Structure 1
Amino acid sequence: MTTVGIVTGAGRGMGEACARRLADTVDVLLLVDRDTAGAEAVAKELNGAGHRAVAEPFGLDVTDREGLARLATRVAEAGTLRAVAHAAGISPTMADWRRVFEVDLIGTALLADALRPLATEGTAHVYFSSMSPLLARVDPDPAVGAVLDDPLHEDFLERIREAVGPDIEQSTLAYPWAKHGVARFARKEAVRLGPVGGRVCSLAPGIIDTPQGRQEAAKQTSMQRLIDVTPLGRTGRSEEVAEVVAFMLSDEASFLNGIDVLVDGGVFAAVRDN
C-alpha cells in the first residue's frame, strides 16, 4: 500500500517544518501552497536528502474548489490517504475580515469536504487552530455557534456578521472567531470520519517564531507582552510544533480524536485567570 500525506502551507513556517518532519512517515508527500515556488524549493530539498517520501509540490489556494478537487484526484491516483497537516492560514495583519474567514475557516471546511471520500482506517488530519480564541474568550451562544458550524453555507459571511455584530469586521476579532470555528469543525469532522476509522484533531499554536509570527509581532504590541509572561520565557519553534503534529498523525496517537491541542509554552496557563 502506497501511503500519501498532505501538508498545506508547506512553503514556509510551520507548514514547512511539518513537511520536513513527515517526510519519513509516508511514501508520497504532497506539498500544498499558493506559493508554488516555495513548495517547489522545499520539495527539491527533501527529495535530495534521501527521505522515504517522494515530495511533490502542488500549487493551490485552499479556497479554490476546483484546485481542491484536483488535489483529491491526485491523492487517489497516488495511493491511500494517511496524513493531513493543514497549516495554511492567514493572520489578522495579512487581510481583511472576509479573507480571514475565507482562508482560515472556509478553506479548512473546503479541504475537508474534498478529502472526506478518501478517508479510511488510519487516516488522520490535524487542522491548525490558534490560542487566540482562548485569549479572546470566544464562547458563542448556541445560535451563533450554529452559524459558525456551517462555514460552507453560501451566505456564511453575511450570516456570521449578523450573528456576531459589526465588530467582526475588525480582522483582529475575525481571526479568533475563525480559528474557534476551525476547532469546532475538527470536532465535528472527527465524528464524521470515526466510522471509517479516520481521526481529526486541531492544534492551537502559541507564539511561534515564523515569518508570519514576526509580522504580527511587529504590528501588535500585545504579542510581546504575551512572550514576556510565557512560563518558558521564549517563543516556540516551528520544529516543536511539527513534532506534536507528527505524533498526532501517528499510529501512536490512534485513540486521540476530536480535540484541540494547545502548544503555547504555557502562556494561556499564565493569563487564563487574569
Structure 2
Amino acid sequence: MTTVGMVTGAGRGMGEACAVRLADMVDVLLLVDRDAASVEKVAEGLDAAGHRAAAEPFALDVTDRDGLARLADRTAGAGTLRAVAHAAGISPTMADWRRIFEVDLVGTALLAEALRPLATEGTAHVYFSSMSPLLAGVDPDPAVGAILDEPLREDFLDRMREAVGPGIEQSTLAYPWAKHGVARFARKEAVRLGPVGARVCSLAPGIIDTPQGRQEAARQTSMQRLVEATPLGRTGRSEEIASVVAFMLSDEASFLNGIDVLVDGGVCAAVRDR
C-alpha cells in the first residue's frame, strides 16, 4: 500500500516544518501552497535530502473548490490517504475580516469536504486552530455556535455579522472567531469520520517564530507582552509545533481524536490565571 501525506501552507513556517516531519512518515507527500515557487523549492529540498517520501508540489488556494477537487483526485490516484496537516491560514494583519473567515474556517471546511471520501482506517487529520480564542474569551451561545458550525452556507458571513455584530469586521476579532470555528469543526469532523477509523484533531499554536508571526509582532504590540508573559520566556519554534503534529498524526496517537491541543509555552495558563 502506498501511503499519502498532505501538508497545506507547506511553503514556509510551520507548514514547511510539518512537511519535513511527514516526509519520513509516508510514501508520497503532497505539498500544498498558494505560492507555487515557494512550495516547489520546499519539494526540491525534501527530495534532495533523501527523505522517504516523494515530495510533490501542488499550487492551490484552499478556497478554490475546483482546485480542491483536483487535489482530492491526485491524492486518490497516488495511494491511500494517511496524514493531513492543514497549516494554511492567514492572520489579522494579512486581510480583511471576510477573507480571514474564508481562508481560515471556510477553507478548512472545503478541504475536509474534498478529502472526506478518501478517509479510511488509519487516516488522521490535524487542522491548525489558535490560542487566540482562549485569550479573546470567545464563547458563543448555542445560537451563534450553530451559525459558526455551518461555514459552507452561502450566507455564512452575513449570518455571522448579524449574530456577532459589526465588531466582527475588525480583523483582530474575526481571527479568533474563525479559529474557534476551526476547533469546533475538527470536533464535528472527528464524529463524522470516526466510524471508518479515521481521526481528526486541531492544534492551537502559541506565538511561534515564523515569517507570519514576525509580521504580526511588528504590527501588534500585544504580541511582545504575550511573549514576556510566556512561562518559558520565549517564542516557540516551527519545529516544536511540527513535532507535536507528527505525533498527533502517528499511530502512537491512535486514540487521540476530536480535541484541540494547545502548544503555547504556557502563556494561556499564565494570562488566564491572573
TM-score normalised according to structure 1 size: 1.00
1:14 has 2:11 as partner: no
Q: Which residues in structure 2 correspond to 1:157-176 (within 5 Å)?
A: 157-176=157-176
Matched residues, percent identical? 87
Which amino acid in structure 2 is aligned with residue 46 of structure 1? L
1:51 has 2:83 as partner: no
1:203-247, Cα deviation, whole Å (9 max, x unpaired): 000000000000000000000000001000000000000000000
Structure 1 match to 2:205: 205
Structure 1 match to 2:143: 143
1:82 has 2:75 as partner: no
Where does structure 1 differ by over 6 angstroms across 4 or more consecutive aligned residues?
none
Structure 2 match to 1:103: 103
Q: Which residues in structure 2 correspond to 1:221-260 (within 5 Å)?
A: 221-260=221-260
Unaligned runs of 5+ in 2: none
1:62-82, Cα deviation, whole Å (9 max, x unpaired): 000000000000000000000
Which amino acid in structure 1 is aligned with residue 230 of structure 2? T
In the alignment, the residues of structure 2 paired with residue 13 and residue 76 of structure 1 have an alpha-carbon distance, to the nearest angstrom, of 27
Secondary structure at 1:85 match in 2: strand
In the alignment, the residues of structure 1 paired with residue 216 and residue 30 of structure 2 have an alpha-carbon distance, to the nearest angstrom, of 28
Structure 1 match to 2:115: 115
In the alignment, the residues of structure 2 paired with residue 62 and residue 79 of structure 1 have an alpha-carbon distance, to the nearest angstrom, of 21
1:28 has 2:28 as partner: yes
Which amino acid in structure 2 is aligned with residue 111 of structure 1? L
1:158-195, Cα deviation, whole Å (9 max, x unpaired): 00000100000000000000000000000000000000
Structure 1 match to 2:41: 41
Q: Which residues in structure 2 correspond to 1:156-195 (within 5 Å)?
A: 156-195=156-195
In the alignment, the residues of structure 1 paired with residue 108 and residue 45 of structure 2 have an alpha-carbon distance, to the nearest angstrom, of 27
In the alignment, the residues of structure 2 paired with residue 193 and residue 30 of structure 1 have an alpha-carbon distance, to the nearest angstrom, of 21
Unaligned runs of 5+ in 1: none
Secondary structure at 1:82 match in 2: strand
In the alignment, the residues of structure 2 paired with residue 7 and residue 189 of structure 1 have an alpha-carbon distance, to the nearest angstrom, of 18
In the alignment, the residues of structure 1 paired with residue 228 and residue 50 of structure 2 have an alpha-carbon distance, to the nearest angstrom, of 40
Structure 1 match to 2:264: 264
TM-score normalised according to structure 2 size: 1.00
For residue 91 of structure 1, report the CA deviation from its aligned partner.
0.1
For residue 273 of structure 1, report the CA deviation from its aligned partner.
2.5
Which amino acid in structure 1 is aligned with residue 241 of structure 2? V
Secondary structure at 2:126 match in 1: strand
1:106-136, Cα deviation, whole Å (9 max, x unpaired): 0000000000000000000000000000000
Secondary structure at 1:151 match in 2: coil
Which amino acid in structure 2 is aligned with residue 268 of structure 1? C
Query: What is the Cα-based RMSD across aligned positions, in Å?
Result: 0.4
In the alignment, the residues of structure 2 paired with residue 242 and residue 50 of structure 1 have an alpha-carbon distance, to the nearest angstrom, of 19
For residue 49 of structure 1, report the CA deviation from its aligned partner.
1.0
Which amino acid in structure 2 is aligned with residue 208 of structure 1? I
